[in-house]
Structure 1
Amino acid sequence: MNCEIFSDCNCIIIRNFARCNTGHPFIIVLSNETMKPKLPRIFLLLLGIVFVLNLVQSYFTPLIFDEAYYWHYAQKLSWGYFDHPPLVALMVRLSGMFFDGELGVRFMSCILSSLMFIVLWACIDHPRKKDYVVHFFVLVFSMALLNAYGFFTLPDTPLLFFTALFLYVYKRFLAKPTWVWGVILGMTMAGLMYSKYHAVLVIVFVLLSNLKLVTLKNAWLAVIVALACYTPHFIWLYHNDFVTIKYHLFDRPNDPYSFTKYTLGYFVNLIALFGLTFPWIYWALFKTRQKDKFTRALLFLTYGIILFFFMSSFNRRIQTQWIIVITIPLIILVFRQMIENETLRKWIYRTGIVNGILILYLRVGLVYEPISPIVYETHGNKEWIAEIKSKIGDTPVVFENSYRNAPMYAFYAGVPTFSLNNLMYRRNQYSIDESEAKVQHQKILYVTRRKQKAPDLELTRADGKVFYGKYIDDFESFRKLRTLVEEPIHLDLEREQEFKVYNPYDQDIDLKKIKFNIAYLTSFKDVKDRMAIEPRIVDDSLKALPANDTVSFIFKFPKPKMKDPAYFRIGISENGLLPGINGTNTKFD
């Protein structure tokens, strides 16, 4: 067989002089783009502009409260944290290896968001996509929350990246379901789950789009790899009494259903995700048909998330970031439609540019407060913290009921802080880490929103909230004491009942330092009544709670002021502080 090869800048021609079964010679034409796929120059240029913009934004924009909280996570890397899986903390730690300050929190977010653009582009198979690179960037840049996760470091940032990567790898797996792609798919699923627990919805809805996956051995290999990679987090959950799962599923307070606040608010969030482009985005979704298994997966994922949270809106308020994952499949679906439909392309381009201009204005407003329409979290915190530190120096600060203020102050002031959570608040990372030990038996400033008589400091933040500070010369708290109740239990005011106290500390705790309190809660887990109780210790020879041991107490329920409490919780007050969240919400039998 004789071959001649001719090449120009656009294609390679291989003329094969062997004859096919018709007796005629044939010619094979292979595009250079097929042989060496690469990103268009305009794509790289626009991507570079977005990346630099995000870097600049990261450098000049003060932290928001959640970022400060995740920065607190990163001070001690772990396989899990109270509210979320650990990937967001790892991102902060890696960012801090390259830069200090705000960029030292956000650098990896800038990297992942840029990589997400590339992965999304790779997910789109269309022969004319390179003609519409600018339209692609207008579409993506027009989504406000997606923009924000281009520089803010939040759990949704890796979630979005790994959703895009998961879809790309799944597409390759469909084309070639080998063990190699099975392993990569499993690792990607693990990356999803290490980002945020909502990621399970991404995996489930893609699986539901193609149930034949259960017959593929390499699909099961992907599951095994994912579970193996996720095992360290499972172990962390086990050693921490599944604290994260219990909080998200059982301990979170809720409100009575409100159509306006819940369901209508959910539809408002669906619109807010896309701004002015929303009617064209959803029209393109509606017009998309299931041409192949990958498109079917994109549709199942989008509609599945929308329907899941629509149903959830009947019993809780849906936050906008919970549904942001639909932007990933929608970018792929909508951009395909934009290439084919000139009217759609024109209107998304026009409204997307308007969205982009508004977003750029708001992004400047994050840094330069005078042009911002609202006082946002990025405004005034640095100045407020500097004002406090100028008055108290390096004195540690204990904030009452604020996992937001405590890490923000620690980040900008560089001193130890602690969030002292009481029965009117909720547990958080400060409830399970070692922050409490860093302020024990030190002179601290205790900061609260509750109005105080003759406070040592009175401070007003940029948002108008007033805080009161009091010095405590020898601070001591025992917020890790746990009260344990064996269910079932009845609200019987005459009957003596039992609870236990577990002391996890390495020291005995004098019983004279602690008092007990009971809180009655509604069916929505809102605290309505709280009152003191005086239980008696079963072993009356004890004068202290033994270290790393459990002690039993006998008590009677006090009469609640509220009608028909659904839950109760027993808390402990130490050294005159407000009672803590020492027990779980226990339902009356």
Structure 2
Amino acid sequence: MFNTTLSKNTSAKYITYFILGWTVLNLLQAATLGIHSDEAYYWMYSRFLDWGYYDHPPMVALFIRMGDALIPNELGLRLMTVISSSLSAYLLWLIARRYQADARWFVILFCGVFAFNIYGFTTTPDAPLLLFSVLFYYVYQQYLEKDSWPLALLLGVVIALLLYSKYHGVLLLFFTLLANLKVLKRLTFWVIPVLTVLLYLPHILWQVNHGYPSVNYHLFERSSAVYEFSRTLQYIPAQLLMAGPLVGWLLFYYSSRVKVKDAFIRCLVFNAAGMFIFFWLNTAKGNVQPHWTLIGFVPLLLLVLIKLKQTIVQPVWAYRLAFINAAIIILFRVMLIAGVPFVKNLPTVKNYFYHDEWAAHIKQKAGNNYVIMPLGFQPASKYNYYTRSLKGFSYDVFDYRRTQYELWPIEDSLQHKKAYYLVTYPLHGPGVDSINTKLGMWYGKWVNNVRTYQKIDILSDRYKVTARPGEAVTFKLQLVNPYSYTVNFGGIRQKNSTVLRACFYEGEEQAILRRAEPSFNQLIIPSHQKANYTLTVKAPNVKGKYDLIFSIRTTPFPGGRNSRIVTFTVQ
């Protein structure tokens, strides 16, 4: 079937029709699908434009801001992603075309990569990451062929945009350099890192000025004290699914069989293998989301196309299987656009729907007051998006993680005001509302005088501790007040008194809570100042490896996550 090569004109028609169809499909998907929880969170980014954020660099905020300014709905939020996806596909074809790749194989394989379908319309940091990764390969391929100052300068700009998209871009740069150290001998090469650093300097300064929140989060907060073999075991099938439900295994097999004939192919091999191995090893450290390897599928696809061209006769069965794989994914997406009930109500899909009605229902109760939710950043962000407000506040609970809500001024604005407290579990006491929605039962009540200390940062004198069961361990803590006002932890005359707690976890399960002495309530910290406090904590009685977190709690809230994880071993 593929013994003959398509003419340039025929290939051009294939790609043109594909890009047009791909764009229309993504536009329809973007317009008809409610926003994902992460998209709502990044929409919040776009309301507070800055050079950096707690979790990610700022490119996703710019993507959303540009589209949302033109079309203030789901389509607008995703508009730049749809455009960038089509541009990424075309650039990928231009790269593959240099190896005489077959346009038919390119279309069905690209459509069959599940990860590319997800980020054809979903706006997260992965969307700009994919675009600038492909653009990097496109420019780098030319730079390898022609050592020139203009291409070096362009690479510096592209790399800066890549790093402004997501920190995973560092891996692409590392494996690319590792694959071809000879490039260091080029005089033009050295302008690339210099220009990149200069362009990236605003984000670096943002990290410095905010105490390196992204570094602390990605290197420390995401670590797990206990290794779970299930994470490593699930990684491989998850990656096969992302590569394509039916042909994932085939892509990995074909890419491993390619003949390395030049520096660019070697670059692709290093990046494909490096990405997937790196994140596989990371399963020992913590949970690895399947989509984190997104940019690994770019070199993977290119390697498969190159291998197919190196093969004299491609098996017809492989093409048919790839066609069926792509058809299943596209059919599923069309059914989702059409709103087919059984597809719309699938557990993994249902999260996209009904939040507009839910937000309107909650707003009827809360009015124009703040709504505080100790449920992660997702519900508060969706409430803000669908009410087009900034009245939803995510209370970062001690057993969750820190988020960008720690840095935004929303918490400062709701202090000592009346706010609506909203949760998904029954509340006790008078004045509790039960709110029945399509997203289930929610419970709320009014808090008349809000007092929270989510932004207080508790620094420990040590982050690795070994103790005997029941042993008393003393920590020298430093509490940092970032607020523009003095913090007084005194709670004798206040209904929502303040408590400092040490929270032990073993794996995902809460183990033990230790409460500080009442002397803690004597602390008064002036604005932008620090205070020292010595806390003695009794170690758990059961041997094991624990995560220890220090938390400040005020009634009726469960307590915030005010410190980094302390690795606490009882032996």
TM-score, normalised to structure 1's length?
0.86
Structure 2 CA distance for aligned equivalents of residues 242 and 526 of structure 1 = 28
Shift of 1:354: 1.9
Q: 1:62-141 residue pairs with structure 2 within 5 A?
A: 62-126=34-98, 128-129=100-101, 132-141=102-111
Instruction: Give the equivalent residue in structure 2 for 1:270.
Output: 239
Instruction: Give the equivalent residue in structure 2 for 1:429.
Output: 404
* Structure 2 residue 370 is matched with structure 1 residue 381: no
Q: Name the amino acid aligned to 1:442.
A: K
Q: 1:136-147 residue pairs with structure 2 within 5 A?
A: 136-147=106-117
Structure 1 CA distance for aligned equivalents of residues 567 and 283 of structure 2 = 24
Q: 1:410-429 residue pairs with structure 2 within 5 A?
A: 410-415=384-389, 416-429=391-404
Structure 1 CA distance for aligned equivalents of residues 25 and 324 of structure 2 = 18
Shift of 1:87: 0.8
State whether residues 516 and 570 of structure 1, in contact with CA within 8 Å, keep that contact through their aligned partners in structure 2: no
Distance change (3 Å), C-alpha of 1:452 and 1:240: same
* Structure 2 residue 444 is matched with structure 1 residue 458: no
Shift of 1:39: 8.2
1:385-426 deviations in Å (ceiling 9; x for gaps):
232234443332111132000010110123311011121221
User: What RMSD in Å do the two structures reach over aligned CA positions?
Assistant: 2.8
Instruction: Give the equivalent residue in structure 1 for 2:259.
Output: 289
Decide which of 380, 383, 394 is 2:368's aligned counterpart.
394
Instruction: Give the equivalent residue in structure 1 for 2:381.
Output: 407
What SS does structure 1 have at the residue aligned with 2:83?
Answer: helix
What SS does structure 1 have at the residue aligned with 2:314?
Answer: helix
What SS does structure 2 have at the residue aligned with 1:557?
Answer: strand
Distance change (3 Å), C-alpha of 1:494 and 1:283: closer
Structure 2 CA distance for aligned equivalents of residues 348 and 78 of structure 1 = 47
Q: Which has the larger radius of gyration?
A: 1
Decide which of 482, 485, 509 is 1:507's aligned counterpart.
485
Q: 1:169-568 residue pairs with structure 2 within 5 A?
A: 169-254=139-224, 256-259=226-229, 261-273=230-242, 274-339=244-309, 341=311, 344=314, 346-367=316-337, 368=339, 370-372=341-343, 374-375=346-347, 376=349, 377-415=351-389, 416-453=391-428, 456-460=432-436, 462=438, 464=440, 466-487=441-462, 498-513=476-491, 515-522=498-505, 527-534=510-517, 536=519, 544-558=524-538, 560=540, 562-563=542-543, 566-568=546-548
Q: Percent identity?
A: 28
Decide which of 547, 554, 566 is 1:574's aligned counterpart.
554
What SS does structure 2 have at the residue aligned with 1:329?
Answer: helix
State whether residues 423 and 519 of structure 1, in contact with CA within 8 Å, keep that contact through their aligned partners in structure 2: no
Q: Name the amino acid aligned to 1:110.
A: V
Structure 1 CA distance for aligned equivalents of residues 74 and 315 of structure 2 = 37
Structure 1 CA distance for aligned equivalents of residues 360 and 100 of structure 2 = 55
Structure 1 CA distance for aligned equivalents of residues 60 and 363 of structure 2 = 29
1:315-348 deviations in Å (ceiling 9; x for gaps):
4332211112121112222223334547536344
Q: Name the amino acid aligned to 1:299.
A: V
Shift of 1:123: 0.7
State whether residues 535 and 556 of structure 1, in contact with CA within 8 Å, keep that contact through their aligned partners in structure 2: no
1:129-152 deviations in Å (ceiling 9; x for gaps):
4xx434321110111121110111
Structure 1 CA distance for aligned equivalents of residues 527 and 512 of structure 2 = 31
State whether residues 126 and 336 of structure 1, in contact with CA within 8 Å, keep that contact through their aligned partners in structure 2: no
Instruction: Give the equivalent residue in structure 2 for 1:14.
Output: none
Shift of 1:52: 1.6
Distance change (3 Å), C-alpha of 1:154 and 1:366: farther
Instruction: Give the equivalent residue in structure 2 for 1:11.
Output: none
Distance change (3 Å), C-alpha of 1:363 and 1:461: farther
Instruction: Give the equivalent residue in structure 1 for 2:29.
Output: 57
What SS does structure 1 have at the residue aligned with 2:91?
Answer: helix
Structure 2 CA distance for aligned equivalents of residues 503 and 313 of structure 1 = 35
State whether residues 503 and 550 of structure 2, in contact with CA within 8 Å, keep that contact through their aligned partners in structure 1: no
Aligned residues: 548
Distance change (3 Å), C-alpha of 1:573 and 1:317: closer
Shift of 1:86: 1.0
Distance change (3 Å), C-alpha of 1:562 and 1:86: farther
Structure with larger RCO (C-alpha < 8 A, sep 6+):
2
Distance change (3 Å), C-alpha of 1:500 and 1:340: closer
Instruction: Give the equivalent residue in structure 1 for 2:4.
Output: none
Decide which of 21, 43, 48 is 2:20's aligned counterpart.
48
Shift of 1:501: 2.2
Structure 2 CA distance for aligned equivalents of residues 352 and 278 of structure 1 = 9
Q: Name the amino acid aligned to 2:353.
A: H
Structure 2 CA distance for aligned equivalents of residues 564 and 280 of structure 1 = 42
Shift of 1:588: 5.5
Shift of 1:374: 1.4
188-197 or 432-441: bigger deviation: 432-441
Q: Name the amino acid aligned to 2:380.
A: A
- Unaligned ranges ≥5, structure 1: 1-31
Instruction: Give the equivalent residue in structure 2 for 1:17.
Output: none
Shift of 1:554: 3.6
Q: Name the amino acid aligned to 1:46.
A: F
State whether residues 129 and 166 of structure 2, in contact with CA within 8 Å, keep that contact through their aligned partners in structure 1: yes
State whether residues 225 and 567 of structure 2, in contact with CA within 8 Å, keep that contact through their aligned partners in structure 1: no
Instruction: Give the equivalent residue in structure 2 for 1:160.
Output: 130
Distance change (3 Å), C-alpha of 1:86 and 1:562: farther
367-376 or 182-191: bigger deviation: 367-376
Q: Name the amino acid aligned to 1:533.
A: A
Structure 1 CA distance for aligned equivalents of residues 282 and 171 of structure 2 = 13
Shift of 1:565: 6.0
State whether residues 423 and 581 of structure 1, in contact with CA within 8 Å, keep that contact through their aligned partners in structure 2: yes
What SS does structure 1 have at the residue aligned with 2:500?
Answer: strand
State whether residues 515 and 573 of structure 1, in contact with CA within 8 Å, keep that contact through their aligned partners in structure 2: yes
What SS does structure 1 have at the residue aligned with 2:341?
Answer: helix
Shift of 1:124: 1.9
Q: 1:12-31 residue pairs with structure 2 within 5 A?
A: none
TM-score, normalised to structure 2's length?
0.88
Shift of 1:352: 2.7
